[in-house]
Amino acid sequence: MTRDRYKREKEKGAATKKGEVLSKVKVFIQNVHHFRDECLIDQSSAPFDHVAIFDEAQRAWNHEQTANFMLRKKNVPNFTYSEPEFLISCLDRHKDWAVVICLVGGGQEINTGEAGIGEWLDAIGRSFPHWNVHISSRLTDSEYSAEDKIEELEKTVNVIKNDNLHLSVSMRSFRAENLSSLVKNIIDLNKEEGKVNYKQLKDRYHITITRDLNKAKQWLRGKARANERYGIIVSSQAQRLKPYAIDVKSPIDPIHWFLDGKEDVRSSYYLEDVATEFHVQGLELDWACITWDADLRYSDVGWESYQFVGQKWNNINKPERKQYLKNAYRVLLTRARQGMVIVVPKGEESDPTRRNEYYDATFKYLTNFGLEILL
């Protein structure tokens, strides 16, 4: 928004600076953390705002993570709220009315301490039973993990279910009504349902799979038109893609990656710097290349989760961390508006960290959905 307004002002011949434009933009959209900090300063007064919109609401912190942050960063000991509970409490100070709008993606929790939509529901049940709660009737679907919490909330709170609150057609993937369902079924190992989803969307949304990263790059460049943006995205745990010049530990600047043009080596167009689920969550590309590493592997018993530590892959055993990894791939697979190419490397048998078996079963599993194979 700052870049756009600055460009418009310059075209008008106005004398302006980017810093001045940025200040005006910040007035228009307030960062939720600034809102929180202002409410901490004076905990008796109601905020100026009556309406708060929390995008990616499933990423709000649980009590443990919030208390830890408050102690380390704000010097506030013994903080008793989770992030959702405190944010609702700020709006609850109004004597007349207030509205909290939570925009939530199912199965999108990807980091330690992210509480999911369930904590918003728990917070209302614990502390704000006088609030009216309007929720999508689809919030009971499995990827939201909220069905039990909704049933519990309905015992004490006025809960109104509304079909219109579910965005059934993804604005991100405007050509693919069935993309979210396909990705859900891929992650949930529902092969037959996933095949149906793919048949329904393949004529409107391009998905191909390959074992050759260079061919995937060519595919991206060939598909994208004019200023349509493309780039490579990978899991933050994909640490054995270095032989392909992909290093998740090498930091990117998201501003340059998402906004700069084809002439800038820092942009996504250059297909050199890669973004992870943390960079792209809530954002999108027109075309994406998802390069799949051995951190999430398909096997006869389902998905197996690994973290690369030192010189080898270690099993991830905690259910919470396993879910975060699956959610990371869910995020990656839903970032492209018009189409994507999935790269599952062949591996290298002489490298014990990249054995063929770490990748072959995953590639075969994904092709079972009917995806076009790029040879």
Predicted confidence (pLDDT) per residue in 283-306, tens digit: 899 999 999 999 999 999 999 999
Same domain, 200 and 346: yes
Q: Which of 251, 234, 239 is nearest to 314 (CA)?
A: 239
- Parallel, antiparallel or unpaired: strands 296-299 and 285-291: unpaired
Strand order in the sheet with 302-309: 296-299, 302-309, 312-315
Domain membership of residue 193 as a residue range: 179-373
Same domain, 304 and 190: yes
Q: Cα–Cα distance between 362 and 13 in angstroms, integer?
A: 56
Q: Which of 169, 183, 236 is nearest to 342 (CA)?
A: 183
Does 300 fall in a domain? yes
Does 74 fall in a domain? yes
In the DSSP assignment, the letter for residue 146 is -
Q: Amino acid letter at 351?
A: D
Q: What are the tens digits of pLDDT across the range 172-195? A: 555 666 788 899 999 999 999 999
Same domain, 187 and 272: yes
- Identify any residues that bridge with 372 across adjacent strands, giving them in sequence order: 208
Which residues are CB-neighbours of 187 under 8 A, at least 6 positions away?
A: 107, 303, 326, 329, 330
How many domains are there within the chain? 2
> pLDDT at position 170, please?
58
* ∠ Cα 326 288 224 (to 5°): 165
Backbone φ, ψ for residue 155 (5° rounding): -70, -25
Q: Cα–Cα distance between 228 and 268 in angstroms, integer?
A: 11
> pLDDT at position 71, please?
94
Question: What are the distances in angstroms from CA 8 to CA 5, 71, 263, 333?
Answer: 5, 43, 22, 35
Same domain, 126 and 233: no
* ∠ Cα 150 154 159 (to 5°): 90
| Residues comprising the chain, all counted | 375
Same domain, 207 and 306: yes
Which residues are CB-neighbours of 180 under 8 A, at least 6 positions away?
A: 170, 173, 334
CB 46 within 8 A of CB 94: yes
**Residue 304 has which token pair?**
């197996």
Q: Work out the widest C-alpha separation in the chain, in whole angstroms.
A: 69
- Parallel, antiparallel or unpaired: strands 99-102 and 51-54: parallel
> pLDDT at position 32, please?
78
Same domain, 359 and 234: yes
> pLDDT at position 35, please?
86
- Identify any residues that bridge with 309 across adjacent strands, giving them in sequence order: 312
Q: What are the tens digits of pLDDT across the range 186-234? A: 999 999 999 999 999 999 999 999 999 999 999 999 999 999 999 999 9
Same domain, 133 and 202: no
Same domain, 73 and 212: no
Beta strands in 165-248, from DSSP E residues, in sequence order = 206-210, 230-234
Final residue before a domain boundary, out of 103, 135, 165? 165
Same domain, 200 and 303: yes
Same domain, 352 and 263: yes
Q: Cα–Cα distance between 117 and 103 in angstroms, integer?
A: 9
> pLDDT at position 172, please?
54
Does 5 fall in a domain? no
Same domain, 142 and 183: no
CB atoms within 10 A of CB 200: 16
Does 7 fall in a domain? no
Final residue before a domain boundary, out of 165, 196, 214? 165
Torsion, CA 203, CA 207, CA 211, CA 212, rounded to 10: 90
CB 103 within 8 A of CB 54: yes
The low-confidence residues of the chain, meaning pLDDT below 50, are none
